Amino acid sequence: MTDGNIFHYFASKDEIIIKSTAHCMAKVEDDFMAQAPKDMADIERFLEEVPYWTAKKHGKKYRFMYQVYASPKYREYGKEFFAGVTKRYTEYAKSLEPTLGIPWQTLQPLIYMFVRACVHYALFEDEDYLKPQIALIGEMLPLITEKYAVK
């Protein structure tokens, strides 16, 4: 593809960076969500496997995204992307509520905590950060399931 052909679709190099980063991260997010637990019995597997799976499969992409969105030049686009993440994770929590029997308002912060721990691990392979957060989620789940009488 020639430069002229590329710039038929994109107005500038900056637009290529912005659009490709957002597209890449949306695909990573879709891939991540496809691994989500389908029911309460699947949560343990999810908590144990997904942080390592996503680090192996998407670690380089997360590092790229953070390099782009942490740049002062693209920071506003990062804010916009993460506002969309907040909206998508809220919708995801709402979609899990009927399946798991836990209110979405309780699921949403657990999702945020888990995803942040996974992304941090993917970026830095820091188990000292990952393991306590996964353990805390694991300890909270029985309390939450008891509170909402989840079977």
* Structural domain includes residue 4: no
* Structural domain includes residue 5: no
Q: How far apart are CA 39 and CA 24, in angstroms?
A: 28
Mean pLDDT by 10 residues, the chain (151 residues): 85 94 92 86 93 96 94 95 92 91 95 95 96 96 92 70
pTM (2 d.p.): 0.88
* Structural domain includes residue 3: no
* Structural domain includes residue 6: no
* Structural domain includes residue 60: yes
Structural domain harbouring 65: 13-147
Residue found by looking up tokens 């799976």 in the block: 53
Q: 93 and 104 in contact (C-beta within 8 Å)?
A: yes
* Structural domain includes residue 8: no
Both structure tokens of 93: 């929590």
How many domains would you assign to the chain?
A: 1
